[in-house]
Structure 1
């Protein structure tokens, strides 16, 4: 591996300190910028952050939560810190329930082969998969999140000047210059911050809109691969959040990860979600063994038990 890590990882967490620490171990040797929700109880925070390795930097805590603007603010502060404190070529955004599906050497090779390229799907709005209105009502009407309920004020408003609305996942890997463009937009366009503070699920539209707007991120449209590096275990049932992965999902996870990359999927998916200590420990042991993660940990299992 190169002397300088290829990627810094921004991890946004709020619970399950055992899994967060396992995730940090699996990301070795990459620098990690860890944000923990300010509402997380003190004992959970202490368990998550005590005696972390030197490559982990703790970000200032904010009250993040479901559908809140502060999720974007924490992500941006992760970019800001990673850009200021490292010379990595890419910055990845993960949640505390994610986990790698490949070893650091494989991820490094992918990013070194795609210098200056970001990995995320960006969908100009309206986007048919976001239902009636294609996601534009999220922006056109002011919103508040209250106890996991959406409050929408039915008074339309103008979109910010010069911005091309777009949507996509919060999970992404950005080239350094694209992460820098997002930070610069926050610092130079306070009107965007004010506007997106009342956008529904802002973490799915703010960064994609900044990236897709040519005046804010010149050249991004030609410098990204519209493919996620995340495998998410959707099982076909109707649900708003992905299901928790368990040992019962091992077959389809490894089948998807180890099959040759199809034409429609130009890059391997080197992360997955979502995992927890209680539900996913056996599956995570298999993942560690298959991809050489956390090699010094005694709980690793033999690689030959991994499904083919």
Structure 2
């Protein structure tokens, strides 16, 4: 009978990891956990302590992981080696993440694996399949990628451009046909052993994949095809996942329970951290017995139908890029509003340092705002405004967080009101600053109302007009009477400012005091 060793890669939420491990090992299956070495050591020790007495759990040697980097494959290999050594009776090795949950009981999963002697892995031709929808294709392979695109963006692209300019292309190992597919696979023990034996004797192959970009979509997919006869490969994943039109994973919420159970899969990804009822119901499902399922497998077609129709209903995630759609009920959008952009940027820099929350500058006001690559949606101001909610949802997914801080100019009242009408929790922190005549004159120059040749007389007439315009924007924002509106006033005593920030971020006063303690916060 099949015995599954789950290969869990995770980097956050220790409590959820502990519950996931307890649930999946309760019926005799086992698990090897790789907890990202970039994550807090205290979180890792908390997981180890909670699972120390569980003989069906082991831990892999930790490495620091980065999206799209070789480190994710190395972490997987470390976990596989740990599982092979610790669990000699494991017959299958199933790759999962902290966002995955079982949508079938263990007895169903074991029967499925026993029914066919095969590896379950999506593995299609890298060049001809069309699996890659946008962005680089052969560039992932023929150039060396030694820097992380997410954390070392300038070096990553500078290295790419240098190789391209000098013609430093490299060859793909001649005996390999590169394949690509989902990284959520289930492999038999002998396949895993064959992969480890193969790479031990082929340093050229290991060296090649270490220099590719996003190797977790190609490494195992290529080697399984190279080492396993085709009749023993099921070209599919046993984990149900869908992608939006923008290439981002669809997130499942509380009302997706029946939909998920009806799919012909064993697990599903990604489960929203806020979908507590869904997580509770799925958490007890794996150890359930004699559960009957009506497999309809209509998930993708139903989702496609609903999103193409732009249906703004209550179920199955409405078409989020339309005006009437939602960021997600479980999410929280924190908006810092200030006419003095440098003050707001200084404040969110302090918030980022003190809380670790993802914070973004004036993304709807500055073309040069530092944004990740979101498939081109972020490339122009026109696209950002036209697909505002799509952009925000993709940012939540990119940062892996349900809380996000952004800056907006008070002149963006329509944008602010639009976000505040969303089902997500939205709060505003309006910064009331003092505006000197010199600042307003400089502002007039920066926005193009005045230039180097503007006379002093003309500037004297312009400054009061700008001041009144700023006051009008501030009053309009107040008159909108939006929920969750908090004020941070430059002239208020320090303790009042502490309370405003604490209320806005829902943090203790001591933490808020760290944020507001900057004497230069309001400096021009």
Task: Report if TM-score (shorter chain) is over 0.5.
Answer: yes
Asked if residue 156 in structure 1 is aligned to residue 136 in structure 2, the reply is: no
Deviation at 1:159, TM superposition (A): 0.7
What runs of 5+ residues in structure 1 fail to find an aligned partner? 258-267, 296-306
Alignment of 1:214-229 (within 5 A): 217-219=227-229, 221-229=230-238
Residue of structure 1 aligned with 2:256, choices 249, 260, 283: 249
Matching residue of 2:335: none
* 1:35-65 deviation line (CA, Å, top 9, x unaligned): 0111111222122222301210011111112
Matching residue of 2:83: 82
What is the DSSP-based 3-state SS (H/G/I as helix, E as strand, rest coil) of the residue aligned with 1:61?
coil
Shift of the 184–40 alpha-carbon distance from structure 1 to 2, 3 Å rule, reads same
Matching residue of 1:274: 270
Larger-Rg structure = 2
Give, in whole Å, the separation in 2 of the partners of 1:294 and 1:77. Answer: 31
Conserved 8 A contact 2:66-2:148: no
Alignment of 1:122-201 (within 5 A): 122-126=123-127, 127-131=129-133, 135-143=137-145, 144-147=147-150, 149=153, 151=157, 152=160, 153-154=163-164, 155-201=168-214
Deviation at 1:230, TM superposition (A): 0.8
Give, in whole Å, the separation in 2 of the partners of 1:139 and 1:92. Answer: 26
Deviation at 1:161, TM superposition (A): 3.0
Conserved 8 A contact 2:103-2:286: no
Matching residue of 1:304: none
Deviation at 1:199, TM superposition (A): 0.4
What runs of 5+ residues in structure 2 fail to find an aligned partner? 290-314, 316-524
Asked if residue 100 in structure 1 is aligned to residue 95 in structure 2, the reply is: no
What is the DSSP-based 3-state SS (H/G/I as helix, E as strand, rest coil) of the residue aligned with 1:142?
coil
Give, in whole Å, the separation in 2 of the partners of 1:283 and 1:245. Answer: 9
Matching residue of 1:301: none
Shift of the 211–136 alpha-carbon distance from structure 1 to 2, 3 Å rule, reads farther
Matching residue of 1:298: none
Give, in whole Å, the separation in 2 of the partners of 1:98 and 1:218. Answer: 27
Deviation at 1:131, TM superposition (A): 3.8
Query: After the TM superposition, which of the residue ranges 77-86 and 126-135 deviates more from structure 2?
Result: 126-135
Shift of the 133–246 alpha-carbon distance from structure 1 to 2, 3 Å rule, reads closer
Matching residue of 1:36: 35
Give, in whole Å, the separation in 1 of the partners of 2:14 and 2:196. Answer: 28
What is the DSSP-based 3-state SS (H/G/I as helix, E as strand, rest coil) of the residue aligned with 2:148?
strand
Give, in whole Å, the separation in 1 of the partners of 2:79 and 2:236. Answer: 22
Matching residue of 1:288: 283
Q: TM-score, normalised by structure 2?
A: 0.49
Matching residue of 1:21: 18
Structure number with the bigger relative contact order (C-alpha 8 A, sep ≥ 6) is 1
Matching residue of 2:113: 111
Alignment of 1:43-58 (within 5 A): 43-52=42-51, 53-58=54-59
Shift of the 132–231 alpha-carbon distance from structure 1 to 2, 3 Å rule, reads closer
What is the DSSP-based 3-state SS (H/G/I as helix, E as strand, rest coil) of the residue aligned with 2:282?
helix
Deviation at 1:71, TM superposition (A): 0.9
Matching residue of 1:204: 217
Deviation at 1:243, TM superposition (A): 3.6
Give, in whole Å, the separation in 2 of the partners of 1:132 and 1:39. Answer: 29
Deviation at 1:218, TM superposition (A): 4.3
Give, in whole Å, the separation in 1 of the partners of 2:268 and 2:281. Answer: 14
Deviation at 1:147, TM superposition (A): 2.7
Give, in whole Å, the separation in 2 of the partners of 1:91 and 1:248. Answer: 30
Shift of the 188–158 alpha-carbon distance from structure 1 to 2, 3 Å rule, reads same
Deviation at 1:222, TM superposition (A): 1.7
Conserved 8 A contact 2:252-2:271: yes
Conserved 8 A contact 1:120-1:227: yes
What is the DSSP-based 3-state SS (H/G/I as helix, E as strand, rest coil) of the residue aligned with 1:50?
helix
Q: TM-score, normalised by structure 1?
A: 0.81
Conserved 8 A contact 1:6-1:112: no
Matching residue of 2:409: none
